[in-house]
Chains A and B, each alone.
Chain A
Amino acid sequence: MWRWLAEVFAVAGKDLRAEFRTRVALNSLALFALTTLAAVSYTIGPYRIAQEDRPFLLAVLLWIVLFFAALAGLDRSFVKEEESRTAPLLRLAAAPLVVWAGKLLYNLVLISALMALLTPLFCVLMGFEVALPWHFVALLAAGGFALAATTTIVAAIIAQAMTRGALFSVLSLPLLLPLLIFLIQGTTAISTGELEIFRSSLRAVVSMGGMMTVASALLFPTVWND
């Protein structure tokens, strides 16, 4: 088990080291997130939405910004391996599940960094009130994990395709849409303080993340080797 974990950390560590040296995915994520946030806060701002609509509409805006920023950068993990012709040696050297878990961990770190940067800024610039702060952190963590699990397997699939362009978004959206709905519902409940709705939303998000993780782990060896 420890050896397996060491191999997973080696894959994630290699990707993070390479990313910090080139900053391709980081720049894509940050640029998209900050540009969108700046545009939204400039055009809508904290006071142009009616008080009763604020919890729901701000939750929608927050997750839209997070989702599309994630889609802008998280496909790089596998596409880069194929484009730079490093994938064959990785296929021969590492077990498929090690590669999958390493890439998932790498995507998780990127999405956590994105959330840590964007969420406080969003709350300040848009005046988003959080009635249940620790519940909000739990929902962000569960949502981030589900998002990373889904984008990791979709990125592995599209890396094998000849025309990758918009394929990542096209394949990700149907898988992520139900998740997005529950995350918005949960975030709205966090703003209004409705604990029961928050709990049911969190359960749904955790279930979806778990489902995607199991399905990805089962599917990945076939996607990676064939």
Chain B
Amino acid sequence: MSAGISISFSDVAKRYDMRVVFKSVSGEVGPGEVLVLTGPNGSGKSTLLSILCGLVRPTRGEVRHRCGDDEIPRRAWGRHLGVVAPSMAVYDELTAVENLRFFARVRGLSTDTADCDELLSRVGLDPNRKTPVRGFSTGMAQRLKIAQALLHEPEVIFLDEPGSNLDPSGQDWLEAQVEALAADGRTIVLATNDRREMEWGGRRVALVG
């Protein structure tokens, strides 16, 4: 893994036509830290997360992704991050292994089935299950999305309501994973309203709806 990635954003605002999502938000997070984005429903947590991911452009403000002192260009940014969000789905016509192998292939990684099987076992899914994802429960689909986000061992992980649909043991597992990833020097951005998940982070950005 590289030196670790830091994200800083200043005076970020987002507006869709006449609707203001948020006016001015600033913050930063570095390697080994967990930044928690919190606020009431509709306050723009997921939108801010999408802006930090690089999927949505802010109306105003600046977002910088850095590895040490070097700026990471936008085209290379996707390689460094993993995302779990309710607005992002995996392919429900494919099986769990097929999904992981597809994402591994397009990321230029090894598509060794054993690696995918190991990762699926790690998130609590049966690698031998041959049913397409559309037959999964929402909790199982969430576990697969987590596996997909961790597949390429990214330096930055964005989690939007990651514990939703997970059973208590799944939430415990996720908490342990987030702690382990942060201890390993990964940068984690977490958008949540869950009191328990809020405790995972050291830094917080509160959005006012």
Chain B residues closer than 8 Å to A6, beta-carbon distance: 105, 108
**A-side interface residues, number (CB < 8 Å):** 23
B106 close to A22 (CB less than 8 A): no
B89 engages A85 (CB within 8 Å): yes
Q: Looking at the assembled complex, report how far the CB atom of A22 sits from the nearest CB atom of chain B, in whole angstroms.
A: 6
With known contacts A17-B98, A21-B132, A226-B57, A88–B103 Cβ distance under 8 A = no
Chain B nearest CB, measured from A109 CB (Å): 17
- B interface: dominant SS: loop
**Do A17 and B78 touch (CB < 8 A)?**
no
- Is there an interface contact between B91 and A14, defined as CB atoms closer than 8 Å? yes
The stretch of A90-98, A123-131, A150-158, A177-185 in contact with B is: A90-98
Q: Which of B55-112 contact A (CB under 8 A)?
A: 55, 57, 75, 78, 81, 83, 85, 87-94, 98, 102-103, 105-108
Q: How would residues 18 to 58 of chain B score, 1 for a CB under 8 Å from any chain A CB and 0 otherwise?
A: 00000000000000000000000000000000100111010
Tell me whether A14 and B90 are in contact (CB under 8 A): no
The CA of A204 and the CA of B55, in the complex, are separated in Å by 39
Tell me whether B192 is interfacial, beta carbon within 8 Å: no
Q: How distant is the Cα of A26 from the Cα of B90 in the complex, in angstroms?
A: 22
Of B57, B75, B83, B105, which is within 8 A of A10 by CB?
A: B105
Complex Cα spacing A213 to B102, Å: 25
Most buried by A among B89, B93, B103: B93
Write the nearest CB–CB distance from B103 to chain A, whole angstroms: 5
CA distance A45 to B57 in the complex (A): 57
Instruction: Report how far A17 CA is from B89 CA in the complex, Å.
Output: 17
Residue A11 CB within 8 A of the other chain: yes
Contacting pair B83 A89 (CB below 8 A): yes
Nearest CB in chain A: distance from B145 CB, A: 9
**Complex Cα spacing A92 to B89, Å:** 12
Smallest CB separation, B91 vs chain A (Å): 6
Task: Tell whether B148 is near chain A: CB-to-CB under 8 Å.
Answer: yes
- A160 interface residue (CB < 8 Å to B): no
Residues of A within 8 A of B50 (CB): 88
The docked-state distance in angstroms from the alpha carbon of A91 to that of B83 is 12
CA distance A17 to B105 in the complex (A): 15
Of B55, B75, B102, B108, the contact of A88 (CB 8 Å cutoff): B55
Size band of the interface chain B makes with A: 20 to 34
Residues of chain A with a CB closer than 8 A to B53's CB: 92
User: Are A3's CB and B57's CB within 8 A?
Assistant: no
User: Closest CB-CB distance, A8 to chain B, in whole Å?
Assistant: 9
Cα separation A84 to B99 with both chains bound (whole Å): 14
A-chain residues with CB within 8 Å of residue B54 when the two chains form the complex: 92
The reply on A86 being an interface residue by CB < 8 A is yes
Q: B81 near A92 (CB under 8 angstroms)?
A: yes
User: In the complex, are the beta carbons of B90 and A86 less than 8 A apart?
Assistant: yes
Option from B89, B94, B132 in Cβ contact (under 8 Å) with A89? B89
Given contact pairs A10-B102, A18-B94, A22-B93, A89 touches B107 in the complex (Cβ within 8 A): no
Q: Quick one: CB contact mask for A55-68 with B, threshold 8 Å, 1 for yes?
A: 00000000000000
Do residues B102 and A14 form an inter-chain contact, with CB atoms below 8 A? yes
Residues of A within 8 A of B (CB): 3, 6-7, 10-11, 14, 17-18, 21-22, 84-86, 88-95, 98, 226
List 13 extra interface pairs beyond A21-B93, A91-B78, CB under 8 A. A3-B108, A10-B102, A14-B91, A14-B98, A18-B91, A18-B94, A21-B132, A84-B92, A85-B87, A86-B91, A89-B88, A89-B103, A89-B148
Give the interface of B toward A (CB within 8 A).
50, 53-55, 57, 75, 78, 81, 83, 85, 87-94, 98, 102-103, 105-108, 132, 148
12 A-B pairs with CB atoms under 8 Å apart are A7-B108, A10-B106, A11-B106, A14-B102, A17-B93, A18-B91, A84-B89, A86-B89, A88-B83, A88-B88, A89-B83, A90-B106
